[in-house]
Amino acid sequence: MFYNKFKNLAASVMLVLAAGACTDGFDELNTSPTLITDDKVAPQMLFTYVVKNSVFASFSPGRIHEFSGYYGNEATGNILAHSDYTSPFNNYRSYIINLKEIIRLTADDPTKVDQNAIARIFLVWNYHSMTDAYGDIPYHEAALGVENAVNQPKYDTQEEIYRHMLAELKDAAGVLGSQPNQVSFGNADLIYQGDVEKWRKFANSLRLRLANRVRFVAPSLAQEHIVDALTQPLITENADNASLETMAAASDVSNNNVNPIWLRYFVNNGTKYYAGMPVTDIMVPTNDPRLPLFADPIESDGVTFRGRPIQLLQDQKEEYPSEGTSGLGPLLYAPTYDIIVFNAAETHFLRAEAALAGITAEDENAMFRKGIELSMEQYEIDATAAATFLGQPVATLSGTEEEQLEQIITQKYVAIFFQATEGWAEFRRTGYPRIWVGAELGVTNGNIPRRLTYPNDEYLKNEQNVEAAVARLSGGDELMSRVWWDVRPNLPLEHPMKGAFPPN
């Protein structure tokens, strides 16, 4: 199998309990912090709940997955439209409040220093996808304990949030393993089973990701953390990948724990998901051996793989019938799926980018090629096929610095396949990969949104603070307003087939 597994039956049992017993009435339980005390809820049970549900949420196909270009849905209408974007903002009630409760419950226990640090690290993972989606969000005043609860928390700027998240990751990684006689999360930790060394590598690798994210807007901050992170243990081997394997369907397994793509197609209503056009756009011309895992082949006018574009008008959709469009491949339609949170390939592509930018003295081409090698290894690609791919020009950096950046980001896009929040964020940050958009222009004039708009509920319950955040946005609370780190000029970049139809 590709990634980490549950190490024994206890982990599976914990997962079922978390998704079943803990889910019933969970909203009511967690909207009142007075009900969450150390004698009522064990930190490890809360952690299982948060890990399982937040990782599943990051994987389940939705609008952000379409923004990223990883998949298409023939039933989707105009996705470039105004909507009430409640997710991932609702992570506050589902995940943030519980992670902060774990941090409070373990703060004064010398035997739970590692649990505290791990919860802090995973809190950053949840927060960064939220702030990347919206921009400024409640942070320091959000989900405080009952004694200090703030009903209308202020919105911190994204710059403040990023500076704090980077510092948190550095500090938490340093704390891990510093105290003896620790109570481990054990199998309640569905990612690493309480392995503090792997959590340290994850924290440092995540810090490298976030530091790269801000390098265009805050180069000194980025350099400080990139250089420091490279002195620390990182996820450099697939054995250390952060991932969560779904469970196989069975009579005693909740459907909430089963691969949602498999479930929706084979059990529920037969929903078919298609590979996105950017995926085939990148992988078909180079005969990428990973493509048959990501997309199903077709036989249509000599075309073997054909991804589905977004924003097609009704008459354009007729050019993409089910039998003539590649569905998602066997990897994603398998009864079980290893949901990736962070992999070794990404670490090396981040290092390649930092070296290309002159932030480090590492060999950007060596890092780039190592990222591809690790991705091939992760998906168990035949050694000969992997070597053939690595022998092509696409697997060696060349050209201008911008052309090399495009190579790095494009291959990273493939290597982090179906991590939609990352794919969308990197598209916005760098402009890559270039994404073709159909003639349904929507409210963004045919452009992929630069952010999500704040939920309607915030205007009802926290109007003064959300309005203050909106006032800081150039362009207001709109899909094309840019978050703090989205500063590269002349984006989005034009797709070479813009205006042509069909484009593939």
| Confidence at residue 7, expressed as pLDDT on a 0 to 100 scale | 34
417 near 70, Cβ under 8 Å? yes
In this structure, is residue 262 part of a structural domain?
Answer: no
- In the chain, % of residues over pLDDT 90: 86
Q: What is the pLDDT of residues 426-467, one digit of tens each?
A: 999 999 999 999 999 999 999 999 999 999 999 999 999 999
Q: Closest Cα partner for 52 from 255, 246, 250, 242?
A: 246
- Return the SS3 of 276: strand
Please say if the pLDDT value at position 17 is more than 50: no
For the purposes of burial, counting CB atoms within 10 Å of the CB of 231, is it exposed (0-12), middle (13-18) or buried (19 or more)?
exposed
Q: Distance between CA 66 and CA 417 in Å, rounded?
A: 13
In this structure, is residue 456 part of a structural domain?
Answer: yes
Chain centroid, CA 483 distance in Å: 17
397 near 372, Cβ under 8 Å? no
In this structure, is residue 484 part of a structural domain?
Answer: no
pTM (2 d.p.):
0.92
C-alpha pair distances (Å), 215 with each of 127, 208, 219, 226, 352: 19, 11, 5, 10, 14
In this structure, is residue 226 part of a structural domain?
Answer: yes
| Confidence at residue 301, expressed as pLDDT on a 0 to 100 scale | 75
Q: Distance between CA 262 and CA 268 in Å, rounded?
A: 9
Which range marks the domain in which residue 243 is found? 9-251+335-460+467-471
Q: What is the pLDDT of residues 202-259, one digit of tens each?
A: 999 999 999 999 999 999 999 999 999 999 999 999 999 999 999 999 989 999 999 9
Q: What is the pLDDT of residues 370-398, one digit of tens each?
A: 999 999 999 999 999 999 999 999 999 99
Instruction: Please write down the HEC assignment for all residues of 332-380.
Output: CCCCCCEEEEECHHHHHHHHHHHHHCCCCCCCHHHHHHHHHHHHHHHCC
Q: What is the signed CA dihedral for 408, 344, 369, 297, rounded to 10 degrees?
A: -80
In this structure, is residue 114 part of a structural domain?
Answer: yes
| Confidence at residue 266, expressed as pLDDT on a 0 to 100 scale | 81
| Confidence at residue 74, expressed as pLDDT on a 0 to 100 scale | 82
Q: Distance between CA 10 and CA 284 in Å, rounded?
A: 42
Four-residue CA torsion sign, 214, 220, 226, 232: negative
CATH number of 247's domain = 1.25.40.390
In this structure, is residue 295 part of a structural domain?
Answer: no
- Return the SS3 of 274: strand
| Confidence at residue 40, expressed as pLDDT on a 0 to 100 scale | 66
96 near 462, Cβ under 8 Å? no
Q: What is the pLDDT of residues 104-127, one digit of tens each?
A: 999 999 999 999 999 999 999 999
For the purposes of burial, counting CB atoms within 10 Å of the CB of 119, is it exposed (0-12), middle (13-18) or buried (19 or more)?
buried
Q: Closest Cα partner for 82 from 503, 453, 483?
A: 453
Tokens standing for residue 422? 């990352």
In this structure, is residue 315 part of a structural domain?
Answer: no
- Given the structure tokens 């929507």, which residue do they identify? 442
In this structure, is residue 492 part of a structural domain?
Answer: no
The count of structural domains within the chain is: 1
